[in-house]
Structure 1
Amino acid sequence: MKRLHAKWLLPLLAAACAVTGCDTAGVQEDDDTSQERPFRATSRIGGNDTRATVDSDALTFKWENKSEEAHLVYKDGEQTGYTFTIDQNTISDDGRQADFGAESGFEAEAGTWLLAAIPTTGYTAAEGGSYTFTMPEEDVVQTGNNSTEHIGLRMPMYARAQATAERTASFSFKHLGSLLRFRVKNLNSGAETITGIGVEAENGRGVFGRSVTLTADGASVTATYADEGDSRIGVTLSDCTVASGEMLTAYTATLPGASFGDGTVLKVVLTTGGGSYVSDRFTITDGSGLSLTDGKWTPGKFYTLNLTLDNELRFEGVNHDGFTETDNDIEW
């Protein structure tokens, strides 16, 4: 069983408590509501807005005790981000629920609106209480075939909740971006070392978004995506040799960028260990398998580009799925 380290998932779990109801079996409870007890955010994996199928294998998101795991919580009227860290003693038996304690000095009166954001890097505060997430510029680096640990800094999420008199909050997280998965079957007679794969829009169209700004007002949060974007995103691969007949699976992520739709040409480029590259193009049409919103990538969906590799790279189609509660009978 593979395990995705949840460095980027932390606030994500808090979400489902508000939207699906939480099974708290195996979680320690603390009824002490005194001011001596640190503020606590309950976090649980689950719910339609907080689940993502990354591949067709049995990859399950679980909380682990890692010292760097944390998420940020912003208080209305402040531009300071506070770090919350996992409490290993509260991880549930199924690994899907845990509590996160606030850093020293965090205080929020009952009824105070809080905005939680993930990952802990990438968000900046602005005047007026808005927060902007900016996608890293460089290609994402993936170590090994079908690894997912590298995508955390590119999968931003947010949640909105009110502090309670018991010094707790339960967040319902939503995805701000979309996941892209490349699946390339090696049809050559021998193994292939693959060092990179990317997709680009012809004519320099900025279809891959760079940033999103969150503006909170009461219970609601508005996400505004920058119209400008990049024309290309890619994955640099290390330690990735694919045997004959086997599949390369690589991942990256994007935000909605410039609007695109019918007639847009995307090109997938694959680089091998010898420095050579192969590519193939496909044109976006109504039947191309993409699910777009207003001509842009849809947050909360993942897109799979299917290809084959022999002497050439051939595009075999694209499909999409939602970040739903169950996909292919996989539990997340």
Structure 2
Amino acid sequence: MKACVLGAGSWGTALASVLVSNQWDVTIWARRLEVAEDINLRGRNERYLPGARLPAGLRAVTDPEDALRHAELVVLAVPSGAVADMLPFLRGLGEDVLLVHAVKGFVRPDNLRVSAWLERHIPGIERRLAVISGPSHAEEVVRQLPTTVVVASASRRVAESAQDALMTERFRVYTQADVVGVELGGALKNIIALGAGLAEGLGLGDNTRAALMTRGLAEITRLGVALGASPLTFSGLAGIGDLIVTCTSEHSRNHRAGRLLAKGLSLSEVLASIGMVVEGVHATFAAEQLAKDCGVEMPITHAIARVLMGEISPSEAIELLMTRDKNHEMEVVGAQPLTAEFRLP
């Protein structure tokens, strides 16, 4: 069984390692020659997963067409800003090839979920498309620490095929039909992780972080329901599960970015320091626009957007949130069904 992983960043490399351990013949596409050579010659990816040993048999190439040749399963694991660059190669996939995307972000400037963007540009792709998300730091997945994720698709057959391909004794995969909710949970939690990092960088305590996570989940759910997601999805792995791990872990780039912003670094200095894509930055501006379009209130997202734009300081953002008008905690988030049903066989 041949699989291709497009993207040799930390997440793509970790998923490639899972597939190799599940007896797939895996080729990973790397944009950087030095990353491909590191994987092929040393069994490492020091740029994105320093110190991790990769399984024998993982092959890396720098030509996407070479990587995709004869693949029965394709995993799309590039940053959201690179999804459009992959379109010419994805359009050429055979109709029996399963595509699983692992991108936790939006395609800008349209602010579309990745699956929605793919469906717009590749007619019929939803019949063989799945999305994978959940609390799954690549640094722990590649070490085979127990991890649980969720795979969502409009098709039960596709969701279960992706589940079979990826599930191991150390990487447990659940299935879901709510593609919208699973994608939005994975993208929007990065915004709240920026806020949690800001709070930690300011020296604020556990109370503040818990408040940001809880109220952050509320606004994620509000926007999700407005865009067609089931509210129940946000209480699962792709919602609160991913939110917890991203807001609390040392592995989280978004959390680290928030800490650096709180120390007084500019956004450009923060991104240069981290050296990898911080999806929460793009997601903040995408969510800000989506919230306006839907008439949804997202005060945490709005405050973080103003910090990123340099309009207010991190401490002013906290003050802004704490001095908002009085409100009731429990909110009506819409009349969406509690569960989503598979629409395709």
Compute the TM-score of the two structures, normalised by the length of structure 1: 0.27
Higher normalized helix content (fraction of residues): 2
Answer 1 or 2: which has greater strand percent: 1
Greater RCO, 1 or 2 (C-alpha within 8 Å, sep 6+): 1
TM-score by length of 2: 0.26
* Structure with larger Rg: 1
